[in-house]
């Protein structure tokens, strides 16, 4: 049983809930519990979509600085890869994933949100990568995923200054996908992913692999990767059902295989 991360499944949606008051600081234990939760959601066939949620007050205000303050280069060199992998596990969930953000998503909290497919952000939320103010840089995807999402110039502004980004700016630059009142964040996240719970799971997985993998390749390699994934879906039950439903002019009944 995890101490700080819960997984609750309802109607095909797994909510991965951070619960380490007061600020959901991401110490080593929380990082490993998050990694385990992402692996469980990935493997469970009943889970068709995922919400990452920190509760009504805060998403996650960053790493546990007290834990890191006395770490040496050797200590962090041994830990840094696992830290990146723990949050990166959310980018590898083969299902739609949305971060439901209230309060603060800073440092590691912002990096956790960046690893999700979408971000639903409260109107009064603040996001950012303030690591530069501690004499370091983001170490779990903040320099890489942020630059791919909002562009290198904006990412440099946010990372080099360490400033906070409010919800309106986050929406304008593409860091947020929905901005709603804080009380509506979780339900908006549910509404965003609910349609996917009845969708063709293998095709959704392939679409994520095609887009995310293709971003790491040149165009010719990405097109070849897309072709492989496209062809592979012709072996699935959902492909047969989807095309049969189209021909028969009815709604498809996907089974996720």
Q: Are residues 193 and 205 in the same domain?
A: no
Give the pLDDT confidence score for residue 62 in this predicted structure: 85
Number of separate domains in the chain: 2
Residue 106 within any structural domain of the chain: yes
Residue 219 within any structural domain of the chain: yes
Give the pLDDT confidence score for residue 143 in this predicted structure: 96
Supply the residues annotated as catalytic.
Answer: 63, 108, 111, 131
Q: Are residues 41 and 111 in the same domain?
A: yes
23 lies in which domain range? 5-197
Q: Are residues 160 and 46 in the same domain?
A: yes
**Per-position pLDDT tens, the chain of length 257:** 689 999 999 999 999 999 999 999 999 999 999 999 999 999 999 999 999 999 999 999 988 888 888 888 998 888 889 989 999 999 999 999 999 999 999 999 999 999 999 999 999 999 999 999 999 999 999 999 999 999 999 999 999 999 999 999 999 999 999 999 999 999 999 999 999 999 999 999 999 999 999 999 999 999 999 999 999 999 999 999 999 999 999 999 999 89
Domain boundary among 160, 182, 197: 197
Burial class (CB in 10 A: 0-12, 13-18, 19+), 109: buried
Q: Are residues 136 and 239 in the same domain?
A: no
Q: Are residues 62 and 15 in the same domain?
A: yes
Residue 254 within any structural domain of the chain: no
Q: Are residues 65 and 43 in the same domain?
A: yes
Give the pLDDT confidence score for residue 1 in this predicted structure: 67
Give the pLDDT confidence score for residue 65 in this predicted structure: 85
Count of Cβ atoms closer than 10 Å to residue 223 Cβ: 12
Task: Find the CATH number of the domain harbouring 124.
Answer: 3.90.226.10
């Amino acid at each position: 049983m995890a101490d700080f991360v819960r997984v609750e499944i309802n109607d095909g949606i797994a909510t991965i809930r951070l619960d380490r008051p007061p600020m959901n600081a991401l110490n080593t234990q929380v990082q490993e519990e998050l990694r385990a939760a992402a692996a469980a959601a990935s493997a469970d066939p009943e889970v068709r979509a995922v919400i990452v949620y920190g509760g009504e007050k805060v998403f996650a205000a960053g790493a546990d600085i007290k834990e890191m303050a006395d770490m040496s280069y050797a200590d962090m060199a041994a830990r840094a890869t696992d830290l990146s992998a723990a949050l990166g596990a959310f980018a590898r969930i083969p299902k739609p994933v949305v971060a439901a953000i209230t309060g603060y998503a800073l440092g590691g909290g912002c990096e956790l949100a960046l690893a999700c497919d979408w971000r639903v952000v409260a109107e009064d939320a603040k996001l950012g990568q303030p690591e530069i103010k501690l004499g370091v840089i983001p170490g779990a995807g903040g320099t890489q995923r942020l630059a791919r999402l909002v562009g290198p110039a904006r990412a440099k502004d946010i990372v080099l200054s360490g400033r906070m980004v409010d919800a309106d700016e986050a929406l304008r630059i593409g860091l947020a996908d929905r901005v709603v009142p804080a009380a509506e964040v979780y339900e908006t996240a549910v509404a965003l992913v609910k349609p996917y719970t009845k969708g063709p799971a293998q095709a959704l997985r392939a679409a994520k692999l095609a887009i995310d993998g293709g971003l790491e390749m040149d165009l010719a390699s990405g097109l070849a990767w897309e072709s492989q994934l496209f062809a592979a879906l012709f072996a699935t039950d959902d492909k047969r059902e989807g095309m049969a439903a189209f021909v028969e002019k009815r709604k498809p009944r996907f089974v996720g295989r």
